Amino acid sequence: MISLSDLYCVLTAVVPLYVTMLLAYFSVKWWKIFTPDQCAGINRFVAIFAVPLLSFEFISRINPYKMDLLFIAADTISKLVILFVLFSWAKFSKRGSLDWAITLFSLSTLPNTLVMGIPLLKSMYGDDKEAIMIQAVVLQCVVWYTLMLFLFEYRAARILIHHKFINGITTGTINTERNMDNQGGLQKLGGGRGGEDENFNKVVPDSRGTTFNPIVAAAAAEEDGKEFHLFIWRCRCCSSEGVCEQSVQACHKEEGKNSTKKKDGEEETPDAIKVTEYSSSISSQILRQILKIVWFKLVRNPNSYASILGLSWALASCWWGIKKPQIMENSVTILSKAGLGMAMFSLGLFMALQPRIIACGKRLTAYGMLVRFVAGPAVMAVASIGVGLRGTILKVSIVQAALPQGIVPFVFAREYNLHPDMLSTAVIFGMIVSLPITVLYYILLGL
C-alpha cells in the first residue's frame, strides 16, 4: 500500500520541475521579461550544451556490463510491435498513411525519460532504479531517434519524388531552388549546397517498341553530392498523365503480352534491359541519399555525441576501473546540474510562445492522450510480462511508458512539418496532466 510519506517524496521530486516550467511561462506570458529572440537563445543553449551534458553525466555513470537485458528486451519488443502494427495499418488499410504511422509511433513509444523519468522514478522506486532509466535513455537516443530520423527522411524523399519530379516532369528540366538547411528536412535529394540548383535532364531515347518511355534519366551522382539524378518512367498501362506510382516490374507484368516481354525466339531489346537495370537502381540510390542525410544530421546533433561518448566512457571506466579527472568531472557537473532545470525552463518558454495550449483541437488531443498514456503503457505491460519481468521492475517499465511526450520527437516533427501541432500539444498538455496520471499509475500498481 502506498503511504502518504511515499507520495510526498514523489511530489518533492516532481513539483520543483513544474515550478521551473511555470516561472518560465509567466516570465514571457505575463511579465514580458524575455523576448522571442531571447527565448530562442535560451532554447539554443539548452539544446547545444545543457541537455547533452546532462545526458553524458547520467550515461557515463552506468555499468554497461550489468544492463537489465529483460527490461531492454521488453522495451524493444513493445516498440517493434507498435511499429509493425502501425505500418501494417498504413500499408493495408484505406485510412492508413505513413504520416500518421510515424506520428503515432512517436506518441506511443518515445516518452520524456531523461527530464521527467529519472527524477520521478527515483523518487517512486528508489535510487537503484536510476540505472534502468538511463538504459532507456541510451536506447532512445542511439537507436530510436535514429530510426525516427530515417523515417522522416524517407517520407521527405517520397514527397520530393511525387511533388518535385512528377509535377515538373514534362518541362524537361527541374530546378529546385530551395536550399537544404542543415537543420531542415530533405529539400533536395542530392544533398546540394546552398545556392546551387539541382538539374535533372530529360532524356527520351527511341523506345524501339518497348512499353516504357524514359522521361527523366541520368546516370550517377557527382562525388561531391552536388547533383543527383533519378530515373522515372511513364508507362503506357496507366491512363493518367502522371508517372505511374507502381513499380516498373508491376507495369511490365500488367502488359505481359506486349513487346516488352521476351517472346519466343526473340531477345530483349537493349532499351528493355536498361529499363530493368534502371528500375533496380532507383530504390538503392534513394536509400543511399537518405542514409547520407541521416548520418549528416546525427553527426551534427550534440545529443548523439553525448550518448556515444557517455557510453564509451562507461565501458572504459567499468572495464579498467578508472574515474574521470576531477577537472573534467567539475566542468561537466557545473552545466549538467543546470541541465534539468534549464530543460524545464525552456519548455515553459516554448509553452508561452504558442498561441494556444491545445493547438491541434480537442478531438486530436484526446486521441493523442489516449495513445500516450493508455496504449503505450498497455503494450509495454504486455511485452514486459511476456519476457518475464515481475515485481518492481515491471512497475517501473509501465510507469516509464506513461511519462509525458518527449521533446526531441516534437523537434523532429516541427523540422519536417509532420503534425507539429499535435506533437506540441502532446508535449505541453502532456506535461500538465502527466503528474496526476503517473501518480495514479504509481498508486494503482502499488495496490
Asked if residue 306 and residue 401 are part of one domain, the reply reads yes
Q: E strand or H helix at 214, and its extent?
A: strand 212-216
CA separation for the pair 311, 155 (Å, rounded)? 31
Note whether 205 and 231 are within 8 A (CB): no
pLDDT of residue 281: 55
Q: 327-349 as b/e, with b when 16 or more CB fall inside 10 Å? A: eeeeebeebbebbbbbbbbbbbb
pLDDT at position 243: 43
What is the C-alpha separation between 32 and 405, in angstroms, rounded? 27
326 lies in the same domain as 415: yes
Residue-level pLDDT at 183:
40
| 293 is a domain residue | yes
Q: What pLDDT score does 442 carry?
A: 87
* 125 and 189 within one domain: no
pLDDT above 60: residue 216? no
- pLDDT, averaged across the chain: 75
Considering 269, 298, 327, which residue would you say is the last residue of a domain?
298
What distance in Å separates the CA atoms of residue 188 and residue 195, rounded to the nearest whole number?
12
Pairing of strands 212-216, 232-235: antiparallel
CA 265 to chain centre: 53
pLDDT(378) > 90: yes
Q: What confidence score (pLDDT) does residue 78 get?
A: 95
Residue 101 lies in a domain: yes
Q: Looking at the domain assignment, is residue 167 inside a domain?
A: no
Please give the Cα distance from 409 to 93 (Å, whole number): 25
Mean pLDDT across 352-359: 81
Give how many domains the chain has, as a whole number.
Answer: 2
Are residue 265 and residue 328 in the same domain, yes or no? no
Question: Over 80: is that where the pLDDT of 151 sits?
Answer: yes
Instruction: Quickly count: other Cβ atoms within 10 Å of residue 74's Cβ.
Output: 27
What's the angle, vertex CA 134, arms to CA 44 and CA 366, rounded to 5? 70
Indicate if 209 and 277 belong to the same structural domain.
yes
Please give the residue range of the domain that contains residue 281.
Answer: 183-298
pLDDT tens digits, one per residue of 287-301: 787 788 888 887 887
Is there a domain that residue 175 lies in? no
Q: Residue 382: its pLDDT value, please?
A: 95
For the chain, give the percent of residues with pLDDT over 90.
Answer: 21
Residue range 86-97, pLDDT digits in tens? 999 999 988 889
**16 in a domain, yes or no?**
yes
Reported as a single tens digit per residue, the pLDDT across 230-244 is 434 344 444 444 444
Boundary (domain end) residue, out of 298, 323, 354: 298
Range with the lowest mean pLDDT among 188-202, 321-335, 406-420?
Answer: 188-202
Span 99-115, average pLDDT: 91
Residues 358 and 233 in one domain: no
Last residue of a domain, one of 247, 269, 298: 298
Looking at the structure, do residues 329 and 271 belong to the same domain, yes or no? no
Same domain, 219 and 331: no
Residues whose CB falls within 8 Å of the CB of residue 278, separated by 6 or more in sequence, listed in order: 214, 217, 231, 233, 248
CATH number of the CATH domain containing 116: 1.20.1530
Check whether residue 286 and residue 199 sit in a common domain.
yes
- Angle 130-139/118-125 helices, nearest 10 degrees? 150
Looking at the structure, tell me whether residues 310 and 433 fall in a common domain.
yes
Range scoring the smallest mean pLDDT among 196-210, 282-296, 387-401: 196-210
> Is 111 part of any domain?
yes
pLDDT at 44: 83
Quick: pLDDT tens for 29-77.
Answer: 999 999 999 988 888 888 888 888 888 888 888 888 888 899 999 999 9
Residue type, 6: D
Q: Is residue 432 part of a domain?
A: yes
Are 343 and 427 within one domain?
yes
Tens of pLDDT, residues 117-145 = 888 888 888 878 888 888 888 888 888 98
Task: Please report the pLDDT score of residue 170 as a whole number.
Answer: 44
Torsion of CA 25, 27, 32, 34, to 10 degrees: -90
CA separation, residue 21 to residues 47, 115, 231, 342, 360 (Å): 16, 12, 51, 9, 22
Mean pLDDT, rounded, for 181-194: 40
Pair 309, 379 in one domain? yes
In a domain, 158, yes or no: no
